Structure 1
Amino acid sequence: MRPIRTLRFLPVLLLGLSGCQDALDSVANKVEHPLPAKLVNKMKANDMSTRSPIMMRIFKEEGVLEVWKQKGNGRYDIIASYEICKWSGKLGPKFKEGDRQAPEGYYRIYPYQMNPNSSYYLSFNMGFPNSYDRSHNRTGSNLMVHGACSSAGCYSMTDEQVLEIYGFARDAFKGGQEYFIVEALPFRMTAENMARHRDNEHFEFWKMLKTGYDNFELTRRPPKVDVCERRYVFNQVPQVENASFQANAACPPASMPATLASAYYAYQKTWNQDFIKAVAKFDREEATQIAANEARAEAEARRAEREAEKAARLASTGGPAPAVPVLGLFSTGNPLKALVPGSEPAAANANAQQAAAQAAQTEAGAGQVTPTAANADVPVPTPNPEVAPQVANAGSAPAAQSDKPFWKIWSSN
């Protein structure tokens, strides 16, 4: 069983339990479990009733679910923010059953969508596909906000988080709220974020969602959401009495209230200026990055060209140039090897001395024959013991080995 963080506000009977799932299982009535005192006190401090209406906002990229609650003046303020444990798929809407995409859009949550007996501890169904999704032939089922921290198209929270989220919705319904809205968005729709994602295939869809986002940012009230002509429209009041919005039909004559339209125009004007600045900023950064990449590629190409030229020169000369000896004795690799017995220079020196000794013997014992298979019966004269040493000593070549240190040998020569 997956261990998760222990709830701080649960009763003392939870002591000794190893995981949050076990701790939450011990809640006597999770459906009616009260919100923690810290949240109740926060609501009172912000002029909120525990049963006042709510709305929720989900941001995929930031991985956040926010709960907003109505204050005494009718506007909403954020009361709680939760880190989403898991959501599946990528930025962008859900299209069909099985694509494992978490939905994006505006969804109404009614009391019947709350599931107190969820196999994921507690949950509520998001109502996907809504009328907009259906108008685009999008399919899917059982898309929820739930506990258990696992997702296949849902927004998954920890059990302790969903216990609070469920509690907010339960209390709002008890206060008389007919439904609450969940805004499921790809990211906070700021000018900079929109500029950063301006080349995304879903950008036009996100521009439409942004209108509702802007309405809430401007008024701090959940927007009135309708669908017509297969698109979302926000805070539109029909000009004809009893006119309705149909997802696949033409939008009825409608407009924003005048005061809201004026405020929205000013808000959008400032936002557009910020968007243009953000695009220019990202264009500069992109140009700088491209230039840096090109410089690195050019430097790498020059390095590869030099290596190729070096390899060609080595191939034409038959290999690397030999090391040049210093003073005819010292090698470039290790000068001391020249006088170390057993090294190549020392061995060559010994061979030269042996050849000189043999030459002296030959001169002293002229006419002597070295026995071979052809002259095996020819007697071999014994070398003159007096002459050979004299001739050998007459040479200037040092002995092959000496007890003197090498520096004394060098200085004596």
Structure 2
Amino acid sequence: MVCVKTIFGQAPIAQQVGASVQITAELLQKENLLRDEFAKKGLLWPAREVYIRSFKYDSQLEVWVRNNDNEKFQLFKTYKVCVLAGTIGPKRVDGDYQVPEGFYYISEFNPRSEYHLSLKLNYPNESDKILSDKTKPGGGIYIHGDCVSVGCIPLQNFQIDEVYLIAMGAKLNGESFIPVHVFPIRFNNRQSLDYYTKYSFDDIDLQHFTAGLKPVYDYFEKNKILPLIGITPNGDYDVLN
């Protein structure tokens, strides 16, 4: 039997996920560990507000958390993305095996995914609908487990367990819009920036697209809060504050 802590009489998040019996048992054990890790960082459990960002070339996924909208986000943990599908650059057509780049949110929780657990992104977003193939832009982009990918963001199962529980906790606490930002590189990492510069040297369109992502990265790095992001009629991203 797994001993599970409860708060204020609420059922553990793991029991509300709706996963299989085996996965639920794993999540129950994970939840107690997460609660302790949150407490050590001064974070409330379940999470109140979550922000996820991923870096393709650097193969990393970060989970940021804050207790309320008056605080700055705090980095909870950085996870290794175990497989990279495609190359630097946005997703533009079904079957290109590209991981999207841009600004998304979690649109679906799938506790019975064929890839252990999965969090669906709202690709194509409004920018993608303008810039991607009009008839077959593709879809079905997830953060998921099982460490396989044909255009998603894959993690090891023990990692997606954590990310899923954190995101689900925030959802149950009322965060209906959990942002997920996907960048080609860490813009403050010299090795990553050098690689991107060489890779995009002759690609003006790619340079233009990436130039629209960087202000959001820079804003968050400086302020540790998220900016308002708009989309121009041309499909470009625009920081509104």
Global fold match (TM > 0.5)? yes
For the aligned pair, the TM-score class normalised by the smaller chain equals 0.7 to 0.9
Residue 378 of structure 1 corresponds to which residue in structure 2? none
Aligned 8 A contact 2:86 2:98 in 1: yes
**Is structure 2 residue 205 aligned with structure 1 residue 206?**
no
Structure-1 separation of matches of 2:44 and 2:36: 10
Structure 1 residues 161 and 32, CA gap change in structure 2 (3 angstroms): closer
Aligned residues: 214
Structure-2 separation of matches of 1:137 and 1:187: 21
3-state DSSP of counterpart to 1:87: coil
**Is structure 2 residue 56 aligned with structure 1 residue 60?**
yes
Deviation readout 1:292-324 (Å, 9 max, x if unpaired): xxxxxxxxxxxxxxxxxxxxxxxxxxxxxxxxx
Counterpart among 149, 166, 169 of residue 167 in structure 2? 169
Higher strand proportion: 2
Higher helix proportion: 1
Structure-2 separation of matches of 1:218 and 1:178: 25
Q: Which runs of 5+ in 2 are unaligned?
A: 4-18
Residue 8 of structure 2 corresponds to which residue in structure 1? none
Deviation at 1:92, TM superposition (A): 1.1
Residue 158 of structure 1 corresponds to which residue in structure 2? 156
Structure-1 separation of matches of 2:58 and 2:189: 16
Q: Report the TM-score when normalising by structure 2.
A: 0.80
3-state DSSP of counterpart to 1:99: coil
Structure-2 separation of matches of 1:191 and 1:65: 15
Residue 189 of structure 1 corresponds to which residue in structure 2? 187
Counterpart among 93, 110, 114 of residue 115 in structure 1? 110
Residue 369 of structure 1 corresponds to which residue in structure 2? none
Structure 1 residues 101 and 75, CA gap change in structure 2 (3 angstroms): same
Deviation readout 1:180-230 (Å, 9 max, x if unpaired): 111111111127344553350222211110011011111101222221221
Instruction: For 1:170, give the aligned amino acid.
Output: M
Structure 1 residue ranges (4+ consecutive) displaced by more than 3 angstroms after TM superposition:
30-38, 191-196
Q: Which has the higher contact order (CA 8 A, sep 6+)?
A: 2
Structure-2 separation of matches of 1:31 and 1:180: 24
Structure-2 separation of matches of 1:88 and 1:28: 26
Residue 9 of structure 2 corresponds to which residue in structure 1? none
Deviation readout 1:203-258 (Å, 9 max, x if unpaired): 22111100110111111012222212211112x2xxxxxxxxxxxxxxxxxxx3xx
Structure-1 separation of matches of 2:123 and 2:53: 16
Residue 233 of structure 1 corresponds to which residue in structure 2? 238
Counterpart among 64, 78, 81 of residue 81 in structure 1? 78
Structure-2 separation of matches of 1:124 and 1:31: 18
Coordinate RMSD, CA, aligned: 2.5
3-state DSSP of counterpart to 1:197: helix
3-state DSSP of counterpart to 1:42: helix
Residue 253 of structure 1 corresponds to which residue in structure 2? none
Deviation at 1:130, TM superposition (A): 0.6
Larger radius of gyration between Structure 1 and Structure 2? 1
Aligned 8 A contact 2:63 2:78 in 1: yes
Deviation readout 1:95-129 (Å, 9 max, x if unpaired): 1100111111110114xx11112111110111111
Structure-2 separation of matches of 1:30 and 1:130: 35
Structure 1 residues 210 and 56, CA gap change in structure 2 (3 angstroms): same
1:90-129 to 2 correspondences below 5 Å: 90-110=87-107, 113-129=108-124
Structure 1 residues 209 and 37, CA gap change in structure 2 (3 angstroms): same
Aligned 8 A contact 2:2 2:25 in 1: no
Counterpart among 177, 180, 189 of residue 179 in structure 1? 177
Instruction: For 1:115, give the aligned amino acid.
Output: N
Structure 1 residues 96 and 49, CA gap change in structure 2 (3 angstroms): same
3-state DSSP of counterpart to 2:162: helix
Instruction: For 1:119, give the aligned amino acid.
Output: E
Structure 1 residues 137 and 70, CA gap change in structure 2 (3 angstroms): same
1:264-343 to 2 correspondences below 5 Å: none
Structure-1 separation of matches of 2:33 and 2:72: 22
Q: Which runs of 5+ in 1 are unaligned?
A: 1-9, 13-23, 237-255, 257-413
Q: Report the TM-score when normalising by structure 1.
A: 0.48
Structure-1 separation of matches of 2:232 and 2:170: 29
3-state DSSP of counterpart to 1:198: helix
Structure-2 separation of matches of 1:101 and 1:131: 18
